[in-house]
Structure 1
Amino acid sequence: MSATRLTLTLATPSRVWFDAVEIVSLRAEDDSGSFGIRTGHADFVTLLTPSVVRWTCADDSIHYCAVDGGVLLVSHGTEVSIACREAVPGDSLEGLEQGVRSRHVIEADAARRARVEQLQLHARAVRQMLRYLRPRADADGAGADSIGGMLR
């Protein structure tokens, strides 16, 4: 690693997206607003807001990654580390926008399926309770019609 370069590591719980990638500068956003990091930056830690992190490599290429928040740490003036729950990388803002939209569609579909499964489990539990309660009402004789009528 060159002394004039930063390295970027960006990770989520399920994947390391970038591991010690050499960069020239990085822009990110926290509650106080947008800020930049260059070589020699003081040690620093902040909570990122859901936003797009942007960095420039030595060949002047710009890369992007949408993050849902997270923690950014600068160490020794040369190491930038970002830890977040979700990340969507992209080489262009247009591609990144499409990737984020695609991710939202997938997440919405998964949430919808989870709600359906939860409702199905709830309905099965209620049916099971009804099966359990009906024989008791019938065995008592009295009130079997009223309890059975209420449970139907």
Structure 2
Amino acid sequence: MQLKIVTPLSVVVETDITSLRAEDVSGSFGILPGHAPFLTTLAVSIASWRRGRREHFCALRGGVLVVGEDGGITIATREAVPGDDLDHLDRDVLERFQSEEDAERVERSETVQLQLNAIRRMVSRLHLNADRGAFR
């Protein structure tokens, strides 16, 4: 099987593999040769794959995994950090990915709150001036 891990800026991993393990919101799963075509969104996690007897890892900041008709696996993610030191990836990189994702979630929530407040003010002003046909 061919594995390709890509970010918006580069191809991080491109290699032949014998198996892959990844994680989506429903949990961990594996892919072996002959797997049916498949599409899923990935959680912030570490993907691992075997090439021969050796295991390799890549920390992923979420993303999309596709198993194509030809059995090739493509992972598209915002950020990927490959490495063979699982402790470092788990401790440092995943922690950073998770904190960045949490910060983005807070920013999105605050942005939506600001937009809703602006809409409420516009609607209340429209109601005040409804009898005059003016918006100020």
TM-score, scaled relative to structure 1: 0.59
How many pairs align? Answer: 99
More helix, by proportion: 1
Check conservation: 1:88, 1:99, Cα contact below 8 A.
no
Q: 1:48 aligns with which of 42, 45, 50?
A: 42
Q: 1:36 aligns with which of 27, 30, 34?
A: 30
The AA in structure 1 aligned to 2:40 is T
For residues 77 and 39 of structure 1, the distance between their equivalents in structure 2, rounded to whole angstroms, comes to 10
For residues 41 and 48 of structure 2, the distance between their equivalents in structure 1, rounded to whole angstroms, comes to 16
- Give secondary structure in 1 for the equivalent of 2:78: coil
For residues 70 and 35 of structure 2, the distance between their equivalents in structure 1, rounded to whole angstroms, comes to 5
Residue identity over aligned pairs, in percent, reads 46
- Structure 2 gaps of 5+ residues are 101-136
Distance 1:90 1:99, change over 3 A: farther
**CA deviation vs aligned residue, 1:72-99 (integer Å, no higher than 9, x gap):** 0001252000000011111120242466
Check conservation: 2:40, 2:65, Cα contact below 8 A.
yes
- Give secondary structure in 2 for the equivalent of 1:100: helix
Check conservation: 1:56, 1:63, Cα contact below 8 A.
yes
User: Over aligned residues, Cα RMSD in angstroms?
Assistant: 2.2
The AA in structure 2 aligned to 1:92 is D
- Structure 1 gaps of 5+ residues are 1-5, 109-152
Residue pairs, 1:1-152, within 5 angstroms? 6-19=1-14, 21-58=15-52, 60-76=53-69, 78-97=71-90, 100=93, 104=96
The AA in structure 1 aligned to 2:10 is R
Structure number with greater CO (CA < 8 Å, separation at least 6) is 2
For residues 62 and 82 of structure 2, the distance between their equivalents in structure 1, rounded to whole angstroms, comes to 14
TM-score, scaled relative to structure 2: 0.66
